């Protein structure tokens, strides 16, 4: 079964959904919406969910969110193609799609809320009626402890224990949820089946998130993306090219990556707002895409940093980024990797790391972030424990801006993992993200459930050693793009 899922479409243009389904190559069987602001999808004489289903050639199932008024929308949205899953489960072959609307629990807020007991009773009906069916659960509220830590009103679990119990007892083939915006775009593969959070943020101009799901009894595939990623002009993959510049390039006859060759540099320079440095970056990046190989423009900055024998660092925090629990460090002077792990004693961790840097004799401290993340968080957390890092650090260096200017890889991102992988570094856990680790540690703080410390320590070590690999590979590079 091929499924498109989204949730919390509160500020995103509805027209983007039409463009999205028209861009999907496969034939969709089902569209799932996990709630909030359903009133946006219905106006007098117009049912936008029905139009979306019609354009996709698929049925659509929805549940209300906690910010939906209980009686504001419902019957007027339901058609032959559009189904209120909370009230009317939808059956497709041997699958049955059931729903749970609203926010759940004693601290739930919004016009539409339920107690845990009410949810147990509601879901019990499905447990008794569909035991022999392959179940898909669509719930606005995530299961307790899974993709459910909110921060808007304090870091806490927003998930439902009753939903978790249903998943535990019925093992749905798939659970789709929303509500907790910061976990939108994440999937957790629990022992009871995949839980997919497809919530979008509700900040002004926030990008719309969605997931495409190929559900199979053998192996299901779940791919998260955003509207901007999916519908962006392919030329925006190039360094220095946004939508406006992509339009100018197309108007000048540059429509495919293979057309960006060095013998056309003068043509590029005749385009408005394409100056020499921008033209060169575009051409080099296009060459990296064509060859499938990374290109280093100038190795010297990486060699110079190595010659200063820096300490390379990477930190792990909770989701709120107001607590450090793990620091990895590599000393060029000592040729040694060291790790500081203190899940329950940040003050002790900060003291130990300060003493480590003190023994390094005023080192340069280098990290990979792009916005000064590690430096800023370390300084802040150290100061909260009356520790002044400026006493023991000569200089801070964020390597990401240096890489952006000097390393071009066949990818639209300059993330550490993207650059290091292109330069042939092999990660032990390539599918783990820093967000996942932050979520696991935040869950530990709120519920006491310990994560796999060793796995996340290995991830942290990989990030430090990947940075070392980037410096070494870039400094030694002899594949500079030709003039």
The CATH number given to whatever domain includes residue 413 is 3.30.420.10
Within this chain, do residues 284 and 179 fall inside the same structural domain, yes or no?
no
Q: How many CB atoms lie within 10 A of CB 251?
A: 11
Q: Please, which pLDDT band fits residue 216 given cuts at 50, 70 and 90? A: confident
Strands 134-139 and 95-100: parallel
In this predicted structure, what is the pLDDT of residue 206?
94
Question: Span 242-262, mean pLDDT?
Answer: 93
**112 and 16 together in one domain:** yes
Q: What's the sign of the alpha-carbon dihedral 369, 373, 376, 378?
A: negative
Query: Which residues span the domain enclosing 252?
Result: 234-291
d(CA 286, CA 474) in angstroms, rounded, equals 19
Q: Are residues 47 and 193 in the same domain?
A: yes
The CATH number covering residue 26 comes to: 3.60.21.10
Which residues are CB-neighbours of 103 under 8 A, at least 6 positions away?
Answer: 65, 66, 109, 110, 112, 113, 114, 140, 141, 158, 179
220 with 312, same domain: the answer is: no
Q: For residues 477 and 430, what is the distance between their CA atoms, to the nearest angstrom?
A: 24
Specify if 482 maps to a domain. no
In-domain check, residue 19: yes
Instruction: Identify whether residues 336 and 364 lie together within a single domain.
Output: yes
Q: Are residue 224 and residue 264 in the same domain, yes or no?
A: no
Into how many domains does the chain fold? 3
Are residue 285 and residue 366 in the same domain, yes or no? Answer: no
Give the pLDDT of residue 202: 92
Query: Could you tell me where the beta strands, DSSP code E, fall in 85-185?
Result: 90-92, 95-100, 103-104, 113-114, 134-139, 149-150, 156-157, 174-177
Greatest alpha-carbon span in the chain:
73
Residue 280 within a domain? yes
pLDDT one-digit tens code per residue, 93-146 = 889 999 999 999 988 889 999 999 999 999 998 888 887 789 999 999 999 999
Indicate whether 409 and 462 sit together in one domain.
Answer: yes
pLDDT digits (tens, 9 = 90+) for 308-341: 999 999 999 998 899 999 999 999 999 999 999 9
The reply to whether 480 falls in a domain is no
pLDDT tens string 384-411? 999 999 999 999 999 999 999 999 999 9
């Amino acid at each position: 079964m091929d499924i498109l899922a989204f949730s919390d479409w509160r500020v995103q243009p509805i027209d983007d959904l039409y463009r999205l389904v028209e861009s999907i190559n496969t034939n969709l069987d089902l569209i799932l919406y996990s709630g909030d602001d359903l009133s946006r999808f219905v106006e007098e004489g117009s049912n936008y969910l029905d139009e979306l289903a019609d354009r996709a050639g698929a049925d659509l199932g929805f549940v209300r969110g906690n910010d939906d008024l209980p009686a504001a929308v419902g019957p007027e949205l339901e058609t032959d193609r559009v189904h209120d899953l909370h009230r009317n489960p939808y059956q497709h072959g041997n699958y049955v799609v059931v729903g749970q609307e609203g926010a759940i629990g004693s601290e739930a807020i919004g016009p539409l809320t339920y107690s845990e007991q009410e949810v147990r009773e509601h879901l019990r009906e499905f447990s008794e009626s569909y035991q022999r069916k392959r179940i898909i659960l669509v719930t606005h509220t995530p299961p307790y402890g899974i993709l459910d830590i909110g921060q808007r009103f304090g870091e806490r679990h927003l998930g439902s224990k009753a939903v978790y119990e249903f998943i535990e007892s019925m093992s749905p083939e798939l659970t789709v949820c929303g509500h907790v915006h910061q976990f939108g775009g994440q999937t957790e593969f629990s022992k009871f089946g995949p839980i997919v959070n497809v919530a979008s943020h509700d900040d002004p101009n926030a990008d719309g998130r969605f997931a495409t799901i190929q559900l199979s009894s053998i192996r299901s595939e779940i791919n998260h993306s955003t509207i901007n990623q999916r519908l962006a002009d392919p030329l925006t993959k190039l360094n220095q090219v946004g939508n406006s510049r992509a339009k100018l390039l197309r108007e000048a006859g540059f429509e495919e990556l293979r057309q960006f060759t060095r013998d056309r540099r003068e043509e590029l320079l005749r385009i408005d707002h394409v100056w020499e440095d921008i033209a060169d970056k575009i051409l080099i990046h296009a060459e990296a895409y064509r060859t499938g190989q990374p290109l280093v423009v100038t190795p010297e900055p990486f060699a110079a940093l190595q010659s200063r024998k820096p300490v390379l660092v990477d930190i792990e925090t909770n989701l709120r980024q107001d607590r450090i629990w793990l620091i990895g460090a590599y000393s060029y002077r000592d040729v040694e990797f060291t790790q500081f792990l203190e899940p329950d004693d940040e003050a002790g961790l900060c003291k130990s790391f300060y003493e480590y840097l003190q023994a390094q004799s005023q080192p340069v401290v280098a990290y990979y972030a792009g916005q000064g993340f590690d430096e800023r968080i370390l300084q802040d957390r150290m100061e909260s424990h009356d520790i002044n890092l400026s006493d023991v650090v000569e200089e801070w260096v964020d390597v990401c801006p240096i890489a952006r200017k000097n390393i071009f890889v066949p990818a639209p991102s300059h993330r550490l993992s993207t650059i290091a992988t292109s330069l042939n570094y092999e990660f032990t856990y390539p599918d783990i993200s820093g967000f996942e680790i932050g979520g696991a540690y935040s869950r530990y703080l709120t519920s006491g459930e310990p994560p796999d410390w060793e796995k996340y320590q290995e991830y942290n070590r990989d990030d430090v050693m990947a940075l070392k690999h980037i410096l070494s590979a870039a400094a030694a590079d002899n594949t500079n793009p030709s003039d």
